[in-house]
Structure 1
Amino acid sequence: MLKLTPTHGLRTMRATHDGESNFIVYGYSRIGSYPELLVNEIGGYKGKVLPPAGTRLVTVKADGAWTLVRR
């Protein structure tokens, strides 16, 4: 689990995954809120994601190495 400081507007995250199965990333804006699906891919992935404003928490499900870098 990766915890981020809240976002304040447009900020992308660069995401990569080198596994063979699901790569799922959710963003949460408040405790108790429903998550927003940011990435749902099977296999390797390399791309950019735009988390919703106010995102405070990001969760990742992956079967291989992954990275998330906020830009």
Structure 2
Amino acid sequence: MRFATHLTRLRKERGLSIRQLAAAAGLDYSQVQRIEKAKVNIAFTTLVALAQGLEMSVAELLDEFKAPRN
């Protein structure tokens, strides 16, 4: 659920609609919609596509979820 909320926030910050992100990522609109609603688990290749669609690296996309270093 956290990733879905995070993805939606990033998409909106970039002024993209779900359709625009899907097109930029080479994904189907309904797939991105299901991801943002936390209805599906996503493959690493989908993460890569979403990161490309958002014009960021996978590391940047997942940065919020890093465990703190001790």
Output the TM-score relative to the length of structure 2: 0.28
User: Whose strand fraction is larger, Structure 1's or Structure 2's?
Assistant: 1
User: Whose helix fraction is larger, Structure 1's or Structure 2's?
Assistant: 2
Higher relative contact order, chain-length normalized (CA < 8 Å, sep 6+): 1
